[in-house]
Chain A
Amino acid sequence: MKNKAKFWGIHAAPSKWLSWFLFALPFVLLILGYLLASEYRHRQNPSDKLLPSFSKMATTMQHVAFEKNKRTGEYQLLSDTLASLKRIGTGLGMAALLGVICGLNLGLFPGIRHLFLPLLTFVSIIPPLAILPMLFIVFGVDELAKVVLIFIGTFPVITRDIYLTVKKIPREQIVKTLTLGASQISLVYRVVLPQIFPRLIETVRINMGPAWLFLIASEAIAAQSGLGYRIFLVRRYLAMDMIIPYVLWIVCIGITVDWILKSLLRYKFSWYMKQQG
């Protein structure tokens, strides 16, 4: 019997061309819909700001991306991007680093687990945005408060994720390692750490979303630069011609980072990908 189903049903096997077509279709429809709506509104009101035309967005972005800002002497898109990436990189990086160390120790040492796990659970339930004002009061409106917000928002999740991964390592393997002459320290850092490293990359990938949320929220409230700052600044002038490309730019950055991390997993940790199936 030949499998005829191309699209419908659980036995469907789309051909290569069809799968490319299916991939592109929703995007094409979205863009077409936008173009039509924009065209319609501009006919009604040539100075419409809500759905700017593609050419309008392109000109605006041309100005901010490739021309030096007259007042600051900087390329605005570049300086915004760098400021945001620095914050998110520092915050998420610190969270990943401390998260993996804490997760390892929580997972392997019952004493540490009893001492800190309840506290960690408590902290992880606090909505980070609820303590944002507190962070601004304590750490000032400079970089530190923003980095700390990203850290506080992602650290408990990363730690818990690593902790659960460590707990899943079979008891047998740990005993085995001790029979091979490992000290407790080398068990933690030479046997368990390399095994959970791919999971760390994965949990950082997952936490990129929340990290962006916290970044933009803190930039929206107080900043002098950054992607979130810019979006909230130009909102006052209804400058959709800048907001929409900025959002797309953030999406591009997100996809790129995600792709880099995924490639790292695929090429450096093939054993892990095989295990996950």
Chain B
Amino acid sequence: MQTESLRANSFLFFEDVYKSYGAKVVLDDIDLAVARGEIITVVGPSGCGKSTLLRLVLGQELPSRGQVTLEGKSVGLPDVTRGIVYQKYSLYPHLTVLDNVLMGPRLSMPLLKRWRVRGELREEAFTYLRKVGLAEHYRKYPHELSGGMRQRVAIAQSLIMKPKILLMDEPFGALDPGTRENMQLFLLELWEEFKMTIFFVTHDLEEAVFLGTRILILSQYYTDDRGDGSHANRGAKIVFDTALPKEAQSTSVKSVAAFGALIQQIRREGFDPDYLQHARDFNLNHPYSFQTLRREENGI
């Protein structure tokens, strides 16, 4: 598709976005168009700026140059349009599970209305708690829950606000492998039901390929016509962007050969410091992907 029509049609849209801290460029000319209802997974070597990319969508940080838009409107500071689940610190330690889930509806309502609809709010919270399988634990405090249960509460806490996009920053990173796999299946089930757009940052390639409907690699390992050496001051770019098939809902897909081959390919193209592709040769075959290279990057 052409950039023009992408700009008009996509749900989340990055154009020429840069983020630098002082002189250090972290994100270098990011172009990204995302359709509604996708699960975008973002992987990349550590320190490449995956979380920074997520925080730009969230509004926790603002781009140094360029614009991020959600449904055509420039994203501002954090608000109810975007939900977030972090690896930790998502829950309020002083509130029970139920109150944690109710926090959003309560905060976004004036006092009188909150009092009038308190019964319905409670019911709604229980609906979400049942969905995440924690209804019988509603009176517990976060410190009484296991890591997986905490993340389920955090997901319910975000979903009850019906955000346009759910951002997840390594949400299952601290869980043991078994719990982690259960949480992945659980997230896919929720996605099947709500069809919300999910922006999922992880360092686990297997998780990214298993969960995503589309995978992005953000990497600082590439080359372009700005030359070598430190004066180039390159930041990370999206070096790989492809759609992923999403029919099987079983973890057994992880042992299929094609699954492993894709992971190998990703590992080579994104994570190998010695494998430097030229910016114009990136493997960007998703129908929504586009790239606007500047002249100094693309010699000709």
Interface residues on A, range: 20 to 34
Determine if B143 and A176 form an interchain contact, defined as CB atoms under 8 angstroms apart.
Answer: no
Tell me the bound Cα distance from A181 to B160 in angstroms.
Answer: 12
B69 to chain A, nearest CB (A): 18
A272 at the interface (CB under 8 A from B): yes
Q: Are A178 and B143 in contact (CB under 8 A)?
A: no
With known contacts A180-B103, A274-B143, A173–B80 Cβ distance under 8 A: no
B107 touches A173 (CB 8 A): no
A195 pairs with B92, CB closer than 8 A: yes
Bound form: Cα–Cα A170–B93 in Å: 12
Q: Which B residues lie within 8 Å of A58 (CB)?
A: none
Interface residues of B, count at CB 8 A: 27
**Which of B80, B84, B107, B142 counts the most chain A CB atoms within 10 A?**
B107
Contact check: which of B60, B92, B107, B141 meets A175 at CB < 8 Å?
B60
Known: A178-B77, A181-B161. A170 touches B89 (CB 8 A): yes
- A168-191: CB near B (< 8 Å → 1, else 0) gives 001111011111111100100011
Instruction: For the complex formed, measure the closest distance between the CB of B60 and the CB atoms of chain A, giving whole angstroms.
Output: 5
Instruction: Flag B135-174 by CB within 8 Å of A: 1 or 0 each.
Output: 0000001110000000000000110010100000000000
Q: Is the CB of B80 within 8 A of A179?
A: yes
- Chain B residues positioned under 8 Å from A172 (CB to CB): 84, 86, 88-90
Kindly state the separation between the CA atoms of A178 and B167 in the bound complex, as whole angstroms: 14
A179 to B79 Cα, complex, angstroms: 4
A179 to B164, CA, bound (A): 11
Q: Which DSSP category, helix, strand, loop or mixed, fits chain B's interface? A: loop
B142: nearest chain-A partner, CB-CB: A271
* With A170-B89, A275-B143: A180-B157 Cβ-Cβ less than 8 Å: yes
Q: Does A110 contact B (CB under 8 A)?
A: no
> Is A73 an interface residue when CB atoms closer than 8 A count as contact?
no
Answer whether residue A26 sits at the interface, using C-beta atoms and an 8 A cutoff: no
Q: Let me know if A194 is at the binding interface, CB within 8 A.
A: yes
Report the Cα distance A22→B108, complex, angstroms.
56
- Identify which of residues 194-208 in chain A touch chain B, using a CB-to-CB cut-off of 8 Å: 194-195
Q: How long is the Cα–Cα vector from A130 to B79 in the complex, in angstroms? A: 50
Q: How far is the CA of A37 from the CA of B182 in the complex (A)?
A: 73
Looking at chain A's contact residues, is the secondary structure mostly helix, strand, loop, or mixed?
A: helix
Contact between chains at A179 and B143 (CB < 8 Å): no
Set B77, B80, B86, B141: member contacting A180, Cβ < 8 A? B80
- A275 and B80 contacting across the interface, CB-CB below 8 Å: no
Given known contacts A175-B58, A271-B93, is B107 in contact with A190 (CB within 8 Å)?
yes
A182 to B82, CA, bound (A): 13
Question: Is residue B116 within 8 Å, beta carbon to beta carbon, of the partner chain?
Answer: no
Nearest chain B CB to A59 CB, angstrom units = 52
Residues of A within 8 A of B92 (CB): 173, 191, 195
Nearest CB of B to A121, in Å: 28
The docked-state distance in angstroms from the alpha carbon of A274 to that of B142 is: 11
Q: Which of A180, A182, A269, A274 has the most CB of B within 10 A?
A: A180
Q: Check B58 against A186 for contact (C-beta < 8 Å).
A: no
- CB 8 Å contact bits of B65-105 with A (1 = contact, 0 = none): 00000000000011110111010111011100000000110
Q: A173-B89, A274-B141 are in contact. List 20 more A-B contacts (CB 8 A).
A: A172-B84, A172-B88, A175-B78, A177-B107, A178-B77, A179-B82, A179-B83, A180-B80, A180-B157, A180-B161, A181-B107, A181-B161, A182-B108, A194-B94, A195-B94, A270-B141, A271-B93, A272-B93, A272-B94, A274-B143
6 contacts between A and B (CB under 8 A): A170-B89, A172-B84, A175-B84, A179-B79, A181-B108, A274-B143
